[in-house]
A = this chain, B = another copy of it.
Amino acid sequence: MTQPTETMDTHVLSRTAAHLAERYAGIFSPETVERYVFESYATLSRTARVRTYLAATAGHFADDRLRALAQSQGKIDKPVAQVLFVCVHNIGRSQIAAALLAHHAGNGVEVRSAGSLPGAEVHPLVVEVLAERGIDLTGAFPKPLTDDVVRAADYVITMGCGDACPVSPGKRYLDWGIADPSQETLEGVREIVEAIDTRVQALWDQIRN
C-alpha cells in the first residue's frame, strides 16, 4: 500500500484538472474536466505497471479524451481524419499501427490507440523495433477503449479484439488480421511491424486521396 504516493498524486491531479479546465473553458464544465482526470487516473491505476508518473500519464490521457469528445461534438475542429486503432491489450499491434501512421502522415491525420483489456506496459520489443525505425514510443502507455475516442474516430481499425471492439454508425471499419507480437522474438516482432507498416501505408494513401 503506497499511501504517500497516492496522496501526492491527488494534489497533482487537482492541479491538472484546474489547468485542463482552463484549456477547455467554454467547452466543458470544470466538473466534467475534473471527473475525466480522476476517472482516467482510476482506470489506468487498475492496470499500469509503472506507477511513478501515473498522475502525469492520467493527465495526458484525460486531455486526449476531452479533445476527442469535443471533436465528436463539433466543439473543436477536426481539420484532418481521426484514426483509432484497437487491439486487445494496447501494448503491441495498436501501438505499432498508431506510431507508424503518425510517423508517415505527420499532421495529416490524428491518431489514437486503445485496448479492450489494456495491459501493464507497452511490449519492450515493440519499443525496440520501432526505435530501430527512429520512432520513439517511450511515452506511450496502454489505454482502455473509451466512449469518447470511439465517437471522435472517422476510421476504426481493429486487430484481434473480436466482439469487444466497438461498432457504431457513421465510421469506416477495417479489421486487420495481424499476428499478436506478445510471444514473438525480436525477429518475429520486426516481421509484424513490417506487415503492419504495409497496411498503414495503404491506409494513409486511402485517407489522403
Interface residues, chain A, with chain B CB atoms under 8 Å away: 1-3, 6-7, 10, 28-29, 31-32, 35-36, 38-39, 41-43, 45-47, 51, 69, 116-117, 144-148, 150, 163-169, 173
Cβ B163 vs Cβ A42 within 8 A: no
- 14 residue pairs of the A-B complex, CB under 8 angstroms, read A1-B163, A2-B163, A7-B168, A28-B31, A32-B32, A35-B35, A39-B39, A39-B147, A39-B148, A42-B145, A42-B166, A43-B43, A46-B116, A46-B145
Whether A46 contacts B6 in the complex (CB less than 8 A), given A29-B31, A29-B32, A32-B32, comes out as: no
Closest chain-B Cβ to A58's Cβ sits at a distance in Å of 10
What DSSP secondary structure best describes chain A's contact surface?
helix
Cβ A6 vs Cβ B42 within 8 A: no
Cβ B29 vs Cβ A167 within 8 A: no
| Copies per assembly | 2
Most chain B beta carbons < 10 A, residue from A3, A36, A147, A167: A147
Within the complex, which residue of B6, B117, B148, B167 is in contact with A1, where a contact is CB–CB below 8 Å? B167
Closest chain-B Cβ to A11's Cβ sits at a distance in Å of 12
**Neighbouring B residues of A166 by C-beta, 8 Å:** 6, 42, 45
